[in-house]
């Protein structure tokens, strides 16, 4: 900045003093500081502008998305309905599979219980013909001492086997004089009933029948009065 001077009353040129020069320099510096501050404010404002622009762009994008979503609402609803139907179908399949697994587990448990309950059924069936033969042997009439002793021995074996079967829950089916029961008896012959007999009454047992607990091992072969 140039130095200032003026004319005095007597037209002499008066130059500024050193004090005036210092004051002038100080005043000259103050506007520059304000200009610097203004420039800093502009710089701060310029820095904030990108953020404002980003917000504006985000708002515009959201509005565009909302407009697009409004246009896709029917399509989205259709997809939602389809997904719901698929979910219902899968849930139904899952429940059916779960029920089938429970049924299989129950059947397996029941089969295991049946096996445990009727354990030894095959062996018992194989023993029954032996009992039949022993009964036939006991039905033979013997008169000599040797025959009597032999028969007594057979009777002891027969009794021991009967007791062994009872200990294993194998019992004889009641038949003689009982009402004919097709679940327990097998009618192989009929005979006319007498006045003191009721119809469908078992009048003779040809072969004994046996039960293993509540299961029929072999039905009794009988003659029924008609």
Of the candidates 217, 210, 190, 212, the residue with the CA atom closest to the CA atom of residue 201: 190
The answer to whether 202 touches 223, Cβ cutoff 8 Å, is yes
Distance (Å, rounded) from C-alpha 121 to C-alpha 109? 19
The answer to whether 171 touches 206, Cβ cutoff 8 Å, is no
Residue 35: which pLDDT band, with cuts at 50, 70 and 90? very low
Distance (Å, rounded) from C-alpha 133 to C-alpha 123? 16
Over residues 92-120, the pLDDT tens digits come to: 999 999 999 999 999 988 888 777 777 77
In this prediction, residue 5 carries a pLDDT of: 47
Greater model confidence, 43 or 141? 141
Of the candidates 166, 139, 168, the residue with the CA atom closest to the CA atom of residue 155: 139
How large is the average pLDDT for residues 120-146?
A: 89
Greater model confidence, 75 or 175? 175
The answer to whether 170 touches 124, Cβ cutoff 8 Å, is yes
Tally of CA atoms within 13 A in the half-sphere of 92 that contains its CB: 6
Greater model confidence, 115 or 23? 115
170's enclosing H/E stretch is strand 170-172
In this prediction, residue 172 carries a pLDDT of: 93
In this prediction, residue 14 carries a pLDDT of: 53
């Amino acid at each position: 900045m140039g130095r200032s001077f003026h004319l005095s009353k007597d037209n002499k040129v008066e130059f500024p003093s050193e004090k005036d020069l210092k004051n002038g320099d100080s005043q000259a510096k103050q506007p520059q500081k304000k200009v610097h501050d203004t420039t800093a404010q502009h710089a701060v404002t310029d820095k904030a502008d990108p953020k404002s622009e980003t917000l504006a762009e985000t708002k515009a994008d959201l509005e565009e998305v909302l407009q697009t979503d409004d246009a896709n609402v029917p399509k989205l609803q259709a997809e939602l309905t389809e997904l719901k139907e698929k979910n219902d179908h899968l849930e139904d399949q899952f429940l059916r599979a779960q029920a089938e697994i429970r049924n299989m587990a129950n059947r397996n448990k029941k089969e295991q219980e049946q096996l445990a309950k009727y354990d030894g059924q095959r062996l018992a069936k194989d023993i029954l013909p032996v009992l039949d033969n022993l009964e036939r042997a006991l039905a033979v009439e013997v008169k000599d001492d040797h025959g009597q002793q032999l028969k007594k021995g057979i009777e002891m074996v027969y009794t021991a086997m009967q007791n062994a079967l009872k200990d294993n829950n194998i019992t004889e089916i009641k038949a003689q004089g009982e009402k004919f029961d097709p679940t327990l008896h097998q009618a192989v012959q009929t005979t006319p009933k007498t006045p003191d007999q009721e119809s469908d009454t078992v009048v003779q047992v040809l072969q004994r029948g046996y039960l293993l607990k509540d299961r029929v091992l072999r039905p009794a072969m009988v003659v029924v009065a008609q």
